[in-house]
A and B are shown apart, each in its own frame.
Chain A
């Protein structure tokens, strides 16, 4: 069984540009969460989607947006990129919205560098 997949693996952008990151969850999983991991820090929660609806949003500016598609894959969009957006962007999938024992499985991440 394939795990969580993310694309692209690496991305280099310049300030002010826009970026779209993609995630495919584990087959059968309906929930996708996005996290930002800055170098030397733990992942920070950005969004959670379940059944195509936003179920949670972290403390990130409106430049960050996301959506989930009918096949449960997801996109994270970031507009007007800043140098501080340089980070590893992680996608995690789980089978439920917020089950007590629900486990989040992470993908390999997309490393975004903003110049």
Chain B
């Protein structure tokens, strides 16, 4: 079993839709959770960074963490064609341990105009 599992894609939605992207993880040592957006042939760009269970909102983006279920989500409201990209969830252990990021496989999102 992989440490981080991400819902398979690809995902295609109409402009204006609400998008839900999800990851599960098996290692309870993960304490920090991130969502990265990666456009084609580019490096990943950090979208959201969360620590505790609960919700964190930034504009049209909401990150949700449920540590008891080992489940994280990213919601995108009023999706735009410019949101079309690959979305990667990433996790890491606390300070003092290796600070490497462990990524999900990524899901490709296409927002149709």
A residues with CB within 8 A of B: 4, 31, 33, 35, 40-45, 48, 55-56, 58, 90, 92, 94, 97-109, 111
CB proximity of A55 to chain B, nearest CB, Å: 7
Beta-carbon contacts of B37-52 to A below 8 Å, as 1s and 0s?
0000111111001010
Q: Is the CB of A45 within 8 A of B43?
A: no
Whole-angstrom distance between the Cβ of A7 and the nearest chain B Cβ: 13
Contact across chains for A45 and B45 when beta carbons are under 8 A apart: no
Total A-B Cβ pairs within 8 A: 72
User: Which B residues between 32 and 88 are near A, CB-CB below 8 angstroms?
Assistant: 32, 36, 41-46, 49, 51, 88
Interface size of B by CB at 8 A reads 27
Known contacts A33-B100, A33-B101, A45-B101; can you find 11 more A-B pairs with CB under 8 A?
A: A4-B43, A31-B99, A42-B6, A42-B105, A42-B106, A43-B101, A48-B100, A55-B98, A97-B99, A98-B98, A109-B43
The CA of A71 and the CA of B31, in the complex, are separated in Å by 31
Sample (29) of A-B pairs whose CB atoms are under 8 Å apart: A4-B43, A33-B99, A33-B100, A35-B101, A41-B106, A42-B105, A42-B106, A43-B88, A43-B103, A45-B100, A45-B102, A55-B99, A56-B98, A56-B99, A90-B43, A94-B99, A97-B99, A98-B95, A98-B97, A100-B32, A101-B49, A102-B95, A104-B99, A104-B101, A106-B43, A106-B45, A107-B43, A108-B42, A109-B42
Pairs of residues from A and B, 7 with the lowest C-beta to C-beta distance, nearest first: A42-B103, A98-B99, A106-B43, A45-B100, A56-B98, A100-B95, A108-B43
**How far is B40's CA from A109's CA once the two chains are assembled, in angstroms?**
11
Q: Closest Cβ of chain B: how far from A59's Cβ, in Å?
A: 11
